[in-house]
Protein backbone atom coordinates (compact mmCIF):
# COMPACT_ATOMS: atom_id res chain seq x y z
CA UNK A 1 0.00 0.00 0.00
CA UNK A 2 1.26 3.49 -0.81
CA UNK A 3 1.89 5.86 2.06
CA UNK A 4 2.44 9.61 1.85
CA UNK A 5 5.81 10.29 0.15
CA UNK A 6 8.95 11.44 1.96
CA UNK A 7 9.61 13.88 -0.92
CA UNK A 8 6.62 16.17 -1.44
CA UNK A 9 5.80 16.53 -5.18
CA UNK A 10 3.62 19.55 -4.37
CA UNK A 11 6.69 21.46 -3.20
CA UNK A 12 9.71 22.65 -5.18
CA UNK A 13 13.13 21.00 -5.02
CA UNK A 14 14.30 23.90 -2.81
CA UNK A 15 11.36 23.60 -0.39
CA UNK A 16 11.99 19.87 -0.14
CA UNK A 17 15.69 20.53 0.47
CA UNK A 18 14.92 23.00 3.26
CA UNK A 19 11.89 21.38 4.90
CA UNK A 20 12.11 17.68 4.08
CA UNK A 21 12.04 14.82 4.43
CA UNK A 22 8.35 14.32 5.16
CA UNK A 23 5.84 11.76 6.39
CA UNK A 24 7.29 8.27 7.06
CA UNK A 25 10.85 9.60 6.90
CA UNK A 26 10.23 11.79 9.90
CA UNK A 27 8.23 9.42 12.13
CA UNK A 28 11.22 8.99 14.45
CA UNK A 29 11.42 5.20 14.04
CA UNK A 30 15.01 3.92 13.85
CA UNK A 31 15.42 0.32 12.73
CA UNK A 32 18.34 -1.95 13.60
CA UNK A 33 20.91 -2.58 10.90
CA UNK A 34 21.96 -6.24 11.00
CA UNK A 35 25.51 -7.60 10.98
CA UNK A 36 27.66 -6.81 7.95
CA UNK A 37 27.51 -10.02 5.95
CA UNK A 38 27.85 -8.89 2.31
CA UNK A 39 30.70 -7.38 0.37
CA UNK A 40 30.15 -4.49 -2.02
CA UNK A 41 33.26 -3.20 -3.76
CA UNK A 42 35.46 -3.93 -0.78
CA UNK A 43 33.10 -2.57 1.88
CA UNK A 44 31.28 -4.90 4.26
CA UNK A 45 27.57 -4.08 4.20
CA UNK A 46 24.69 -5.61 6.10
CA UNK A 47 22.26 -5.95 3.19
CA UNK A 48 22.45 -5.42 -0.60
CA UNK A 49 19.80 -2.71 -0.76
CA UNK A 50 19.78 1.04 -1.20
CA UNK A 51 18.14 4.16 -2.60
CA UNK A 52 19.71 5.42 -5.86
CA UNK A 53 20.72 8.98 -6.60
CA UNK A 54 17.60 11.13 -6.66
CA UNK A 55 15.13 11.40 -3.82
CA UNK A 56 17.79 11.84 -1.10
CA UNK A 57 18.46 15.56 -1.55
CA UNK A 58 20.77 16.11 1.40
CA UNK A 59 22.03 14.74 4.71
CA UNK A 60 18.63 14.93 6.40
CA UNK A 61 17.18 12.63 3.76
CA UNK A 62 20.23 10.33 3.86
CA UNK A 63 19.97 10.02 7.64
CA UNK A 64 16.27 9.18 7.43
CA UNK A 65 17.02 6.51 4.80
CA UNK A 66 19.75 4.98 6.97
CA UNK A 67 17.39 4.95 9.96
CA UNK A 68 14.80 3.04 7.92
CA UNK A 69 17.26 0.32 6.95
CA UNK A 70 18.19 1.48 3.45
CA UNK A 71 21.71 0.13 3.79
CA UNK A 72 23.31 1.98 0.84
CA UNK A 73 21.77 5.41 0.27
CA UNK A 74 23.10 7.49 -2.62
CA UNK A 75 23.12 11.28 -2.16
CA UNK A 76 21.40 13.02 -5.12
CA UNK A 77 23.64 14.01 -8.03
CA UNK A 78 25.74 17.14 -7.43
CA UNK A 79 27.81 19.37 -9.72
CA UNK A 80 31.03 21.41 -9.58
CA UNK A 81 29.07 24.71 -9.43
CA UNK A 82 25.62 25.78 -8.28
CA UNK A 83 23.03 24.78 -10.89
CA UNK A 84 19.31 25.64 -10.85
CA UNK A 85 16.51 23.12 -10.63
CA UNK A 86 14.06 22.73 -13.48
CA UNK A 87 10.89 24.69 -12.80
CA UNK A 88 8.19 23.03 -10.65
CA UNK A 89 6.52 20.55 -11.06
CA UNK A 90 9.30 17.99 -10.94
CA UNK A 91 7.36 14.84 -10.06
CA UNK A 92 4.02 13.69 -11.48
CA UNK A 93 2.18 10.37 -11.44
CA UNK A 94 1.47 8.14 -14.40
CA UNK A 95 -1.94 6.58 -14.37
CA UNK A 96 -2.41 5.30 -17.91
CA UNK A 97 0.23 2.55 -18.05
CA UNK A 98 -0.30 -0.53 -15.91
CA UNK A 99 2.23 -2.78 -17.67
CA UNK A 100 5.67 -2.25 -19.19
CA UNK A 101 6.78 1.01 -20.72
CA UNK A 102 8.43 -0.57 -23.77
CA UNK A 103 10.74 1.55 -25.93
CA UNK A 104 8.03 1.46 -28.61
CA UNK A 105 5.37 2.71 -26.18
CA UNK A 106 7.76 5.43 -24.96
CA UNK A 107 7.60 7.07 -28.43
CA UNK A 108 3.98 8.09 -27.81
CA UNK A 109 2.85 10.69 -25.27
CA UNK A 110 2.14 9.54 -21.74
CA UNK A 111 -0.49 11.28 -19.62
CA UNK A 112 0.81 12.50 -16.26
CA UNK A 113 -0.97 14.13 -13.33
CA UNK A 114 -0.53 14.71 -9.59
CA UNK A 115 -2.07 11.35 -8.72
CA UNK A 116 -0.19 8.32 -7.46
CA UNK A 117 -1.51 4.77 -7.42
CA UNK A 118 -0.35 1.17 -7.75
CA UNK A 119 1.34 -0.12 -9.78
CA UNK A 120 3.39 2.99 -9.06
CA UNK A 121 5.10 4.82 -11.92
CA UNK A 122 6.04 8.48 -12.07
CA UNK A 123 8.00 10.96 -14.11
CA UNK A 124 10.76 13.02 -12.52
CA UNK A 125 12.38 16.10 -14.03
CA UNK A 126 14.88 18.11 -12.01
CA UNK A 127 17.78 18.72 -14.42
CA UNK A 128 20.30 17.74 -11.74
CA UNK A 129 20.22 20.90 -9.63
CA UNK A 130 23.13 21.47 -7.31
CA UNK A 131 24.16 23.75 -4.50
CA UNK A 132 27.74 25.10 -4.45
CA UNK A 133 30.40 22.45 -3.66
CA UNK A 134 31.07 24.18 -0.35
CA UNK A 135 27.48 23.43 0.70
CA UNK A 136 27.23 19.87 -0.60
CA UNK A 137 30.68 18.81 0.57
CA UNK A 138 29.84 19.74 4.16
CA UNK A 139 26.46 18.11 3.77
CA UNK A 140 28.12 14.95 2.43
CA UNK A 141 30.48 14.79 5.38
CA UNK A 142 27.43 14.91 7.66
CA UNK A 143 25.66 12.28 5.55
CA UNK A 144 28.59 9.88 5.88
CA UNK A 145 28.81 10.44 9.62
CA UNK A 146 25.25 9.12 10.05
CA UNK A 147 26.11 5.66 8.67
CA UNK A 148 26.09 2.88 11.24
CA UNK A 149 28.41 -0.14 10.89
CA UNK A 150 27.32 -2.12 7.83
CA UNK A 151 25.94 0.96 6.05
CA UNK A 152 27.57 2.79 3.13
CA UNK A 153 26.76 6.30 1.88
CA UNK A 154 27.47 6.91 -1.79
CA UNK A 155 27.20 10.11 -3.84
CA UNK A 156 26.59 10.86 -7.51
CA UNK A 157 28.19 13.56 -9.65
CA UNK A 158 27.55 14.94 -13.11
CA UNK A 159 29.98 17.05 -15.14
CA UNK A 160 28.67 20.29 -16.63
CA UNK A 161 29.38 21.64 -20.10
CA UNK A 162 29.63 25.39 -19.76
CA UNK A 163 29.78 28.10 -22.42
CA UNK A 164 33.24 28.24 -24.04
CA UNK A 165 34.61 25.15 -22.32
CA UNK A 166 37.10 23.00 -24.25
CA UNK A 167 36.58 19.19 -24.36
CA UNK A 168 39.56 18.84 -22.01
CA UNK A 169 38.04 21.27 -19.52
CA UNK A 170 34.80 19.29 -19.60
CA UNK A 171 36.64 16.06 -18.74
CA UNK A 172 38.45 17.96 -16.01
CA UNK A 173 35.11 19.08 -14.55
CA UNK A 174 34.21 15.39 -14.07
CA UNK A 175 37.60 14.61 -12.55
CA UNK A 176 37.49 17.56 -10.14
CA UNK A 177 33.95 16.76 -9.02
CA UNK A 178 34.84 13.17 -8.30
CA UNK A 179 37.86 14.34 -6.33
CA UNK A 180 35.61 16.65 -4.27
CA UNK A 181 33.34 13.73 -3.35
CA UNK A 182 36.38 11.66 -2.43
CA UNK A 183 37.69 14.52 -0.30
CA UNK A 184 34.35 14.60 1.51
CA UNK A 185 34.93 10.95 2.45
CA UNK A 186 32.84 9.02 -0.10
CA UNK A 187 34.29 5.55 -0.74
CA UNK A 188 32.15 4.58 -3.72
CA UNK A 189 31.61 7.39 -6.25
CA UNK A 190 28.94 7.36 -8.92
CA UNK A 191 29.17 9.17 -12.27
CA UNK A 192 25.74 10.05 -13.63
CA UNK A 193 26.15 9.56 -17.38
CA UNK A 194 22.46 9.10 -18.06
CA UNK A 195 20.44 12.15 -17.01
CA UNK A 196 17.57 12.43 -19.52
CA UNK A 197 16.20 15.73 -18.23
CA UNK A 198 18.73 18.20 -19.60
CA UNK A 199 17.47 18.38 -23.15
CA UNK A 200 20.65 16.95 -24.74
CA UNK A 201 19.94 15.09 -27.99
CA UNK A 202 21.67 11.95 -26.80
CA UNK A 203 22.79 10.67 -23.41
CA UNK A 204 26.49 10.75 -22.60
CA UNK A 205 26.53 7.05 -21.72
CA UNK A 206 25.88 6.15 -25.39
CA UNK A 207 29.06 7.92 -26.53
CA UNK A 208 31.43 5.08 -25.66
CA UNK A 209 34.74 6.81 -26.60
CA UNK A 210 33.80 9.79 -24.41
CA UNK A 211 32.74 7.53 -21.53
CA UNK A 212 36.09 5.77 -21.79
CA UNK A 213 37.97 9.07 -21.80
CA UNK A 214 36.10 10.39 -18.77
CA UNK A 215 36.22 7.12 -16.81
CA UNK A 216 39.96 6.74 -17.45
CA UNK A 217 40.67 10.32 -16.36
CA UNK A 218 38.58 9.88 -13.20
CA UNK A 219 40.24 6.59 -12.25
CA UNK A 220 43.69 8.07 -12.82
CA UNK A 221 42.85 10.75 -10.29
CA UNK A 222 40.87 8.83 -7.65
CA UNK A 223 43.09 5.74 -7.59
CA UNK A 224 41.70 2.96 -5.40
CA UNK A 225 38.45 4.77 -4.65
CA UNK A 226 35.65 2.94 -6.43
CA UNK A 227 33.87 4.31 -9.48
CA UNK A 228 30.39 3.21 -10.55
CA UNK A 229 28.86 4.60 -13.75
CA UNK A 230 25.13 5.10 -13.98
CA UNK A 231 23.76 4.18 -17.37
CA UNK A 232 20.50 4.03 -19.31
CA UNK A 233 18.87 1.10 -21.11
CA UNK A 234 21.17 -0.18 -23.88
CA UNK A 235 20.57 -2.49 -26.85
CA UNK A 236 22.61 -5.74 -26.92
CA UNK A 237 25.26 -4.47 -29.34
CA UNK A 238 25.66 -1.11 -27.59
CA UNK A 239 26.01 -2.73 -24.19
CA UNK A 240 28.62 -5.21 -25.43
CA UNK A 241 30.65 -2.33 -26.85
CA UNK A 242 30.41 -0.26 -23.66
CA UNK A 243 31.32 -3.15 -21.37
CA UNK A 244 34.17 -4.30 -23.62
CA UNK A 245 35.62 -0.78 -23.62
CA UNK A 246 35.18 0.28 -20.00
CA UNK A 247 34.34 -2.87 -17.99
CA UNK A 248 37.93 -3.15 -16.80
CA UNK A 249 38.26 0.57 -16.06
CA UNK A 250 35.21 1.22 -13.88
CA UNK A 251 34.41 -0.74 -10.73
CA UNK A 252 30.70 -1.04 -11.34
CA UNK A 253 27.70 -0.31 -13.52
CA UNK A 254 24.43 1.05 -12.13
CA UNK A 255 21.39 0.52 -14.38
CA UNK A 256 18.97 1.85 -15.18
CA UNK A 257 18.28 5.54 -14.89
CA UNK A 258 14.88 6.40 -16.38
CA UNK A 259 13.26 5.83 -19.78
CA UNK A 260 12.54 9.17 -21.48
CA UNK A 261 9.11 9.69 -23.06
CA UNK A 262 6.93 12.65 -24.10
CA UNK A 263 4.73 13.63 -21.16
CA UNK A 264 1.39 15.44 -21.54
CA UNK A 265 -1.49 16.70 -19.41
CA UNK A 266 -4.83 14.87 -19.68
CA UNK A 267 -5.87 17.49 -22.32
CA UNK A 268 -2.83 16.61 -24.46
CA UNK A 269 -0.81 19.78 -23.81
CA UNK A 270 2.85 19.66 -22.72
CA UNK A 271 2.94 18.75 -19.05
CA UNK A 272 6.23 20.26 -17.89
CA UNK A 273 7.14 23.93 -18.50
CA UNK A 274 10.18 24.62 -20.70
CA UNK A 275 11.20 23.91 -24.29
CA UNK A 276 13.65 21.18 -23.22
CA UNK A 277 11.03 19.32 -21.17
CA UNK A 278 8.78 17.84 -23.85
CA UNK A 279 10.26 14.49 -22.86
CA UNK A 280 10.89 13.47 -19.27
CA UNK A 281 12.32 10.42 -17.52
CA UNK A 282 9.85 7.72 -16.48
CA UNK A 283 10.60 5.54 -13.47
CA UNK A 284 8.87 3.08 -11.17
CA UNK A 285 6.99 -0.11 -11.99
CA UNK A 286 6.69 0.52 -15.75
CA UNK A 287 10.48 0.40 -16.25
CA UNK A 288 11.27 -2.64 -14.12
CA UNK A 289 11.52 -4.88 -17.19
CA UNK A 290 14.34 -2.66 -18.51
CA UNK A 291 16.33 -2.61 -15.27
CA UNK A 292 16.11 -6.37 -14.78
CA UNK A 293 17.00 -7.00 -18.43
CA UNK A 294 20.08 -4.75 -18.18
CA UNK A 295 21.22 -6.46 -14.98
CA UNK A 296 20.83 -9.90 -16.58
CA UNK A 297 22.87 -8.86 -19.64
CA UNK A 298 25.53 -7.11 -17.54
CA UNK A 299 25.91 -10.33 -15.52
CA UNK A 300 26.16 -12.46 -18.68
CA UNK A 301 28.77 -10.15 -20.20
CA UNK A 302 30.73 -10.08 -16.96
CA UNK A 303 31.10 -13.81 -16.93
CA UNK A 304 31.65 -14.12 -20.69
CA UNK A 305 34.37 -11.44 -20.71
CA UNK A 306 35.93 -12.55 -17.41
CA UNK A 307 35.43 -9.15 -15.77
CA UNK A 308 34.85 -8.28 -12.12
CA UNK A 309 32.69 -5.16 -12.08
CA UNK A 310 29.82 -4.84 -9.60
CA UNK A 311 26.23 -4.54 -10.82
CA UNK A 312 23.78 -2.16 -9.17
CA UNK A 313 20.20 -2.73 -10.31
CA UNK A 314 17.45 -0.13 -10.18
CA UNK A 315 14.13 0.53 -11.82
CA UNK A 316 10.70 -0.40 -10.54
CA UNK A 317 11.47 -2.02 -7.20
CA UNK A 318 8.19 -1.32 -5.41
CA UNK A 319 7.45 -4.65 -3.63
CA UNK A 320 9.78 -7.25 -2.03
CA UNK A 321 9.54 -9.70 -4.94
CA UNK A 322 10.99 -7.06 -7.26
CA UNK A 323 14.15 -7.15 -5.12
CA UNK A 324 14.29 -10.94 -5.57
CA UNK A 325 13.93 -10.59 -9.35
CA UNK A 326 16.93 -8.25 -9.49
CA UNK A 327 19.04 -10.49 -7.27
CA UNK A 328 18.17 -13.52 -9.38
CA UNK A 329 19.15 -11.58 -12.52
CA UNK A 330 22.61 -11.00 -10.99
CA UNK A 331 22.48 -7.67 -9.13
CA UNK A 332 25.08 -7.28 -6.38
CA UNK A 333 23.10 -4.39 -5.00
CA UNK A 334 19.45 -3.46 -5.61
CA UNK A 335 18.05 0.06 -5.31
CA UNK A 336 14.62 1.63 -5.16
CA UNK A 337 13.82 5.32 -5.70
CA UNK A 338 10.13 5.59 -6.61
CA UNK A 339 9.09 2.60 -4.48
CA UNK A 340 11.00 3.91 -1.45
CA UNK A 341 9.51 7.40 -1.78
CA UNK A 342 5.97 6.10 -1.31
CA UNK A 343 6.89 3.32 1.15
CA UNK A 344 9.71 4.11 3.59
CA UNK A 345 9.21 0.68 5.16
CA UNK A 346 9.90 -1.18 1.91
CA UNK A 347 13.48 -1.91 3.07
CA UNK A 348 12.11 -3.53 6.23
CA UNK A 349 9.60 -5.58 4.21
CA UNK A 350 12.30 -6.76 1.82
CA UNK A 351 14.68 -7.71 4.63
CA UNK A 352 11.93 -9.60 6.45
CA UNK A 353 10.88 -11.54 3.36
CA UNK A 354 14.43 -12.25 2.17
CA UNK A 355 16.65 -12.29 5.28
CA UNK A 356 19.54 -13.82 3.34
CA UNK A 357 19.49 -11.16 0.66
Ligand X SMILES: Cc1cc2nc3c(=O)[nH]c(=O)nc-3n(C[C@H](O)[C@H](O)[C@H](O)COP(=O)(O)O)c2cc1C
Contacts with ligand X, residue ranges (CB under 6 A)? 52-55, 76-77, 91, 124, 126, 128, 156, 192, 230, 257-258, 283-284, 287, 314-317, 336-339
Do the Cβ atoms of 288 and 317 come closer than 8 Å?
Answer: yes
For residue 313, how many other CB atoms are within 10 A of its CB? Answer: 33
Nearer to ligand X, 120 or 144 (CB): 120
Give the Cα separation of 340 and 3 in Å (integer). Answer: 10
Nearer to ligand X, 151 or 194 (CB): 194
We find the least distance from the C-beta atom of residue 81 to ligand X, in angstroms, to be 16
We find the least distance from the C-beta atom of residue 164 to ligand X, in angstroms, to be 26
Nearer to ligand X, 96 or 149 (CB): 96
Give the Cα separation of 230 and 13 in Å (integer). Answer: 22
We find the least distance from the C-beta atom of residue 334 to ligand X, in angstroms, to be 10
We find the least distance from the C-beta atom of residue 149 to ligand X, in angstroms, to be 25
Q: Using CA atoms in the order 12, 13, 15, 20, what is the torsion angle rounded to 10 degrees?
A: 120
We find the least distance from the C-beta atom of residue 74 to ligand X, in angstroms, to be 7
Nearer to ligand X, 54 or 166 (CB): 54
Do the Cβ atoms of 33 and 69 come closer than 8 Å?
Answer: yes
In the complex, which residue's CB is closest to ligand X?
Answer: 54
In SS3 terms, 226-260 reads as EEEEEECCCCHHHHHHHHHHHCCCCCEEEECCCEE
- Helical ranges in the chain per DSSP H: 13-19, 59-67, 133-145, 167-183, 208-222, 236-246, 288-305, 320-329, 338-342, 346-353
Nearer to ligand X, 230 or 351 (CB): 230
Nearer to ligand X, 119 or 185 (CB): 119
We find the least distance from the C-beta atom of residue 122 to ligand X, in angstroms, to be 6
Length of the chain: 357
Amino acid sequence: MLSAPFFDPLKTYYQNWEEGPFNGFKDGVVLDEGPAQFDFLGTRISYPLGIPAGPLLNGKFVKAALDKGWTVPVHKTVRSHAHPSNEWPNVLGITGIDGDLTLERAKDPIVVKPEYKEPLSITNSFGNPSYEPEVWMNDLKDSISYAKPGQLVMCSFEGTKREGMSPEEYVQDWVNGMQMMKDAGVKVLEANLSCPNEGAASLLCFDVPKVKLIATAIKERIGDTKLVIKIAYFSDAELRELVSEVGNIVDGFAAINTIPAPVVNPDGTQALPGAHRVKSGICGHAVKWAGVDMVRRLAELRSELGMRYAIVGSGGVTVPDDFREYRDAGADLVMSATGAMWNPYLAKEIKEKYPNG
